[in-house]
């Protein structure tokens, strides 16, 4: 009986030791990926979010497809970071074959940290394998923010469809959008480049309905569109109804 107990105990200890080794192996693999020493996630391996780590600011790149183009006034954020530090980590993804990282979201915090004189920022590292999935992740994260300009959204949607071969249905389904909305917001890209730059720089003055009306006016008359744009920038117009009255007058 004692022999049987010793055999059972020995097998139990071996099983626990094997589990510990497997757990340690998985942990070491994740740490290696985080340091850029191992392979990125594969289609077989599940994608995971790692713990918060400190990453040098110089090692974080902003991808050309990043949703937010204008960071606006970050001085209040700079003051907060100097006093309390960065309370919410940025999210990045490891660039394959490099020791650098690509920003997924947190550009305002990144810019504020630079101004505040920080050398490193806290980050969550996502393990993703495809650029379209990375862009969808960044898009979803940033759309939860209220201060993202519709033009920035439109540019991101258009890039995913034209450059990453993502179908419109693959965009609207996970984001719970309508096809009509997707078409309307992408149509904003028909505005002249100089106009789009002004809109992004003064994004607080342009709601989506107002942008749609402005786009409609520009399509009919560039001169009238310029006048309407200037009136909006001057703070005289804040809604489509006010814009309509302005055009009629």
- The class (CATH top level) of 43-129 is alpha beta
Give the alpha-carbon dihedral of 227, 232, 237, 243, to 10 degrees.
50
pLDDT band at 62 (very low <50, low <70, confident <90, very high): confident
What are 125's strand-pairing partners?
Answer: 92
Residue 42 — very low, low, confident or very high, per pLDDT cuts 50/70/90? very low
DSSP 123-162: EEEE----HHHHHHHHHHHHHTSTT--HHHHHHHHHHHHH
What's the confidence (pLDDT) of residue 37? 41
pLDDT attached to residue 93: 84
Residue 118 in this model has a pLDDT that exceeds 90 = yes
Q: Looking at per-residue confidence, does 175 or 146 come out higher?
A: 175
- Per-residue pLDDT for 99 more than 90? no
Supply the pLDDT for residue 55: 92
Residue bearing the bigger pLDDT, 119 or 176: 119
For 130, residues 6+ apart whose C-beta sits below 8 A from its C-beta are: none
Question: 62 or 17: which carries more pLDDT confidence?
Answer: 62
pTM tops 0.75, yes or no: no
């Amino acid at each position: 009986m004692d022999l049987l107990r010793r055999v059972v105990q020995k097998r139990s200890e071996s099983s626990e030791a094997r589990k510990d080794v497997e757990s340690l192996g998985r942990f070491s693999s994740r740490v290696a990926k985080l340091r850029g020493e191992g392979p990125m996630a594969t289609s077989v391996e599940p994608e995971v979010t790692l713990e918060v780590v400190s990453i040098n600011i110089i090692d974080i790149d902003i991808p050309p497809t990043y949703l937010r183009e204008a960071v606006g006034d970050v001085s209040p954020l700079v003051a907060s970071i100097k006093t309390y530090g960065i309370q919410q980590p940025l999210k990045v993804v490891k660039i394959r074959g490099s020791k650098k990282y690509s920003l997924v979201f947190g550009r305002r915090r990144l810019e504020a940290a630079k101004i505040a004189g920080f050398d490193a920022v806290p980050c969550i590292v996502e393990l993703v394998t495809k650029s379209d999935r990375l862009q969808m992740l960044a898009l979803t994260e940033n759309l939860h923010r209220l201060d993202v300009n519709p033009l920035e959204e439109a540019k991101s949607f258009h890039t995913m469809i034209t450059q990453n071969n993502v179908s419109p249905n693959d965009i609207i389904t996970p984001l719970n959008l309508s096809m009509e909305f997707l078409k309307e917001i992408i149509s904003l890209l028909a505005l002249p480049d100089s106009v789009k730059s002004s809109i992004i720089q003064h994004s607080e003055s342009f709601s989506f309905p107002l942008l749609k009306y402005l786009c409609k006016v520009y399509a009919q008359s560039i001169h009238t569109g310029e006048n309407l744009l200037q009136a909006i920038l001057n703070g005289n117009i804040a809604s489509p109804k006010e814009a309509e009255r302005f055009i009629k007058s």
